[in-house]
Structure 1
Amino acid sequence: MSITIVSQGRDVSPWVKALKKKRPDLELYVFPDDQPREEITFALSWGHPLGMFREYPNLKCISSLGAGVDHILKDPDIPEQVQIARIKDENLTSDMANFTMALVLNHLRDLHHYKAAEETQTWKPLRYKRNAEVTVGVMGIGTLGSEVARRLSSIGLRVTGWASSAKQLEGVGVYAGQGEFDAFLATADILICLLPLTPDTTDILNKETFLKLPKGAFLINVARGEHLVEEDLLEMLETGHLSGASLDVFREEPLPESHPFWAHPRINVTPHIASVTNPESAVDQILENYDRIQNGQQPLNLVSRAKGY
């Protein structure tokens, strides 16, 4: 009964250190090093080579190294009996809420404009809206989205949410289902995407969606790059229907040097750093799930393959 860590292009040594610190006798392997595949029952994964888990005959569970699981679910060759889990971590959630709130306030107080003005030594104060005058719409009211909505509401912003099914969230008006999507968009001065990536949500940030937002709305995408139709965003910025965007995730990462987002004056680019899992704070739930799997129990934070989250 062993664990393998599979994460292409990432340094997994902090995970190895954290796991070994908690459980020194743990049999732990790192892909692609040699490993007894028939002994491995649990895998930690981020961006694994598609199809590789067919070669692990006794694998029982794959845990994402973060909150997202789309990178696992896109593999059609994962055996049906293998359960999939994700990480829920208070630090991960708090980091996302803090980062998203910073992007909202940066937009409301035009700090991006003043940074550009500083470079040209231009003194040009701008009028601004106060928090109570602005509605922020949060797409996706799961663990991360709920905390983002609560945090934004706590500083006096009007906050709405949109979810696949009806939810109750204090201080936040939640719209549910496709039938209420247009009404949700109609009042969102700032639109934040925190949806899981599924076939239904891929390309949801498109021209049709943007045109249902108030003129001058601002986009924040901290979910997945595949949610956004990039050409549609550029068109909506060119026409002035959208005032700008802050993007932390992209279809291709790292963002290519030639990509038009880099030089666009109304797009803020950050390198997928909104919320990063801390192995030290997540290791306990990883080991608990490992133990639960060995004892024939269901893992915590089990993912529904049908729903995609």
Structure 2
Amino acid sequence: MTNVLFAAETKLWPVYAPLLRAAFAETGLGGITLETDLPPEEVDYIVYSPGSTLQDFTPYTRCKAVLNLWAGVENVTRNATLTQPLARMVDPGMEQAMVEWVTGHTLRHHIGMDRYIHGLGGAWSRIIPPLAPDRPVTVLGLGALGSACARALAGLHFPVRGWSRSPKDIPGVTCFSGEDGLKAALEGAQIVSLLLPSTPGTRHIMTDETFALLAKGAVLLNSGRGALVDDEALLRALDSGQVSHATLDVFHVEPLPEEHPFWSHPGVTVTPHISSETRPPTASRVIAENVRRGEAEEPFLHLVDRAAGY
């Protein structure tokens, strides 16, 4: 008998319970007990989200892995009691959603849709945008989501530069890494998409200095983490015209406080963290596959590097 503890927000249980049980069956796993309350010493796997009431992992001495429901793990990696292997969620549904959000907003700003949607500049104000090959785009973060977005943009013929902390090789994308590579990736970019995890090394990666590297009037898209952007530096860049618009899906504090200047700034679009929500049907299959791997003594998928923080 394999015991799986569902330790996520209570509202998620009726959604995930039937999907996980079906995914376990599809994966060929028999004898699985999936419950929200099990004796800690009898738990083999924990399906987890950081909003769970479970914060002390010490009693779970038999647990083989903690399987996170979200891609972000910054709120759990710092938990000193978590000594079990931790897997983050890499979900095909989430990847597709992020590609759609990033390509949609890239095309929105590339074509200049807002001008006509909002009737800016008069009823017949014709500004012809360049074609995609003449619009340099930079993607910061080349993990599963960032790589998928970079490939999609390259497929639309944008010249795409990508940056990651460790070297990557993606066909059709000019890849940079390390501190020197960051400057090369950002210099002259007209659209920048942030898809990095939140770690001490990525906090406020967009500052006065990095905004100054962009082409005048560049656009910022942030669907990674709010901590990647120095909010005050972004407001200065917007007010000076160095950045013409910022479309932001993630923030330092969520929900974004009503008094925050982003709500009223004409150069900011706020979306309420909708770019890439975990999709329960596909996420359940990812969880089931990792349980299958654990039972077969195969390597887990998507393990978190605690030192790197992602």
Same fold (TM over 0.5): yes
Q: How many angstroms does 1:131 deviate by?
A: 1.1
What secondary structure, in the 3-state scheme, does the structure 2 residue paired with 1:72 have? coil
Across the two proteins, how many residue pairs are aligned to each other?
A: 303
- Distance of aligned partners of 1:176 and 1:28 in 2 relative to their CA distance in 1, 3 Å threshold: same
RMSD: 2.2
Partner of 1:66: 70
In 2, Cα distance between equivalents of 1:64 and 1:135: 35
Compare 130-139 and 7-16 and name the one that shifted more.
7-16
Cα distance in 2 between the residues matched to 1:230 and 1:9: 33
- Are 2:179 and 1:181 aligned? no
Deviations 1:58-114 (A, max 9, x none): 2221111132222221323312xx001122232221221111000001111222333
Give the alignment of 1:181-220 within 5 angstroms: 181-220=182-221
User: Residues 9 and 99 from structure 1, CA distance in 2 versus in 1: closer, same or farther, beyond 3 angstroms?
Assistant: farther
Shift of 1:219: 0.6
Q: Indicate conservation of the 8 Å contact 2:188/2:213, yes or no.
A: no
Offset of residue 240 of structure 1: 1.2
1:274-285 alignment runs, 5 A limit: 274-285=275-286
Q: Aligned partners of 1:228, 1:55: CA distance in 2, in Å? A: 38
Paired amino acid for 2:62: N
In structure 2, stretches of 5+ residues that fail to align are 26-30
- What are the superposed Cα offsets for residues 177-233 of structure 1, whole Å, 9 maximum, x if unpaired? 112211111121111111122111112122221112122111111111111111111
Cα distance between partner residues in 2 of 1:174 and 1:302: 24
Specify every segment of 5 or more residues in structure 1 that has no aligned partner in the other structure, as ranges. Answer: none
Aligned partner of 1:164 in structure 2 is 165
**Sequence identity, in percent?**
34
Q: CA 1:134–1:12 in 2, change beyond 3 Å: closer, same or farther?
A: farther
Residue equivalent to 2:149: 148
SS in structure 1 of the partner of residue 261 of structure 2: coil
C-alpha distance 294-97 of structure 1, shift in aligned 2 (>3 A): same
The residue that corresponds to 1:88 in the other structure is 90
The reply on whether 1:26 has 2:27 as its aligned counterpart is: no
| Separation in structure 1 between the aligned mates of residue 144 and residue 189 of structure 2, nearest angstrom | 21
Aligned to 1:265: 266
Deviation of 1:35 (Å): 3.3
CA displacement at 1:275 relative to structure 2: 1.4
Match of 1:51 in 2: 55
Tell me the equivalent position of 1:42.
45
Alpha-carbon displacement from aligned partner over 1:224-261 (angstroms, at most 9, x marks no partner) = 11111111111111111111111111111122222221
Q: d(CA) in 2 for partners of 1:114 and 1:40?
A: 57
Amino acid at match of 2:101: F
TM-score when scaled to structure 2?
Answer: 0.89
Please report the TM-score for the alignment, with normalisation by the length of structure 1. 0.90
Structure 1 CA distance for aligned equivalents of residues 11 and 219 of structure 2: 32
SS at match of 2:81: coil
Moved more, 173-182 or 45-54: 45-54
